[in-house]
Structure 1
Amino acid sequence: MFRYLLLALFLCATVPLVPHFLSGDGALFLSGSGERPVRDERARDDERETEGEKAFRIGRSRNGHYVLDVIINGQPVEMLVDTGASTVALPESVAEEAGIILQSSAYTVPVRTANGETSAAATRIDDLRIGPIRLRDVEAMVIRDQSLGTPLFGMSALNMLRRFDFSDDTLLLVQ
């Protein structure tokens, strides 16, 4: 008799929860109001925001590099993650599209690129966004197009993050 009483109590406690398990959420949510949580359909698997922490994940490309789609001053830019670059480096044409216009006389900083030695212009990027991550006042160099073909996401931006981690062919950026 005691077993039947325990079984009845167990069923009374669990039967109201069955709809939550059958809803396909894969999770159980209990709230005092009885409302179901609303999922943000715009959220992507490679982005997440937790309490006080913003994170972005990206997989390694076929050629073995990590390529980020960023927004610089409102302009979309594809950048190659380069831990060997001390700063963010932008080709002159990309910088101009992002509203960074420099005088010819600003190209005074000697730099070495894969294409050899050249002069760059030191500048700052007002606003740089990667998914939910937003960086402001990022140190950067602008290099003439013939010396730099691909924008580089260098250490001046990476060091502004709380952390970054390369593992299992994935780059994790955390702010």
Structure 2
Amino acid sequence: MGRMPIPALRHLTWTLLLLSLTASAAGGLAGQLQQRAEREGFSLSGLDRLPDWPALRPSGGNPEPPVDALLRGIDHVLVKGADGRIVRLLILGVGSVPPPPSQPWRQVLETRRRGRHHLVTAILVGNDGQQVEVELLVDTGASFVVLPRSLMPRLGFRAEALEWGELQTANGGIRAGIARLPVLRLGGLRVEGVTVAFVDGAALGDNSLLGMSALSRFQVTLDDAGNRLILVARDRE
């Protein structure tokens, strides 16, 4: 039997993957969310991270449950537009690690606008307890909290102690040093051991990013109309 050509093999691989994802989303909670996304016109990703839970159906004449009610116990990021409608839903998986008991379980942060983007104030706590106040642009598409290299000495990081690699962005790959920040404070929330990427400040366009290495610790709602970022501990709603 001859070998299958590489392009055909790749096509087959993608076809099987799509069939698998379609089959897994055909029923249960995954199917219910997929139907809601198609009907209400929001983008949906991460269905493969959902557990095999049954659909949540209305009962006793009650209206169809809201999307956030379907996601109880599921880590997710929910982005709403200016009209209050859902624009994007990113599913992260089943919640498991609650914050320490002393932490507030819900925090509402006022955001400032830079065009269509939202910025929040954060406190970075470095290796020796140094505290640096920064503005972070909320970016659910960024894997990490991304900071300019100029902050490294202020936070107690040395270039030779970082793991260096290439960080993929919409504009291509950029060199980045990966480290673990002891503490990131967002309002009353204290997020420990956050993975951060240090890059050339020019590559950021003067922006520091609040990415998923911090946001994935919470249920996230970005209220575009109210200029608010709402963070809820993963075991509470």
Q: Which residue of 1 is the match for residue 105 of structure 2?
A: 53
Q: Which residue of 2 is the match for residue 78 of structure 1?
A: 135
Q: Which residue of 1 is the match for residue 91 of structure 2?
A: none
Which secondary structure does the structure 2 equivalent of 1:83 belong to?
coil
Q: Which residue of 1 is the match for residue 22 of structure 2?
A: none
Q: Which residue of 2 is the match for residue 20 of structure 1?
A: none
Is 1:60–1:171's contact at 8 Å kept on the other side of the alignment? no
Question: Using the alignment, how far apart are the partners of 2:114 and 2:163 within structure 1?
Answer: 34
Which secondary structure does the structure 2 equivalent of 1:93 belong to?
helix
Question: Using the alignment, how far apart are the partners of 1:59 and 1:144 within structure 2?
Answer: 25
Q: Which residue of 1 is the match for residue 231 of structure 2?
A: 173
What's the RMSD between the two structures over aligned residues?
2.4
Q: Which residue of 1 is the match for residue 197 of structure 2?
A: 141
Q: Which has the higher contact order (CA 8 A, sep 6+)?
A: 1
Partner AA of 2:119 in structure 1 = V
> Shift of residue 142 of structure 1?
1.0
Q: Which residue of 2 is the match for residue 119 of structure 1?
A: 175
Is 1:56–1:132's contact at 8 Å kept on the other side of the alignment? no
More helix by share: 2
Q: 1:86 to 1:96 in 2, by over 3 A?
A: same
1:159 aligns with 2:216: yes
> Shift of residue 172 of structure 1?
0.9
Q: Which runs of 5+ in 1 are unaligned?
A: 1-50
Which secondary structure does the structure 2 equivalent of 1:84 belong to?
coil
Is 1:65–1:81's contact at 8 Å kept on the other side of the alignment? yes
Partner AA of 1:145 in structure 2 = G
State the identity %.
Answer: 32
> Shift of residue 60 of structure 1?
5.0
Is 1:58–1:66's contact at 8 Å kept on the other side of the alignment? no
TM-score (normalizing by structure 1): 0.62
Question: Using the alignment, how far apart are the partners of 1:146 and 1:88 within structure 2?
Answer: 16
Q: Which residue of 1 is the match for residue 150 of structure 2?
A: 93
> Shift of residue 108 of structure 1?
2.8
Question: Using the alignment, how far apart are the partners of 1:157 and 1:128 within structure 2?
Answer: 8
Q: 1:113 to 1:72 in 2, by over 3 A?
A: same
> Shift of residue 99 of structure 1?
2.5
Question: Using the alignment, how far apart are the partners of 2:138 and 2:120 within structure 1?
Answer: 7
Q: 1:97 to 1:85 in 2, by over 3 A?
A: same
For residues 35-61 of structure 1, what are the alpha-carbon distances to aligned partners after superposition, in whole Å with 9 as ceiling and x for unaligned? xxxxxxxxxxxxxxxx95131222451
> Shift of residue 122 of structure 1?
1.1
Q: 1:146 to 1:160 in 2, by over 3 A?
A: same
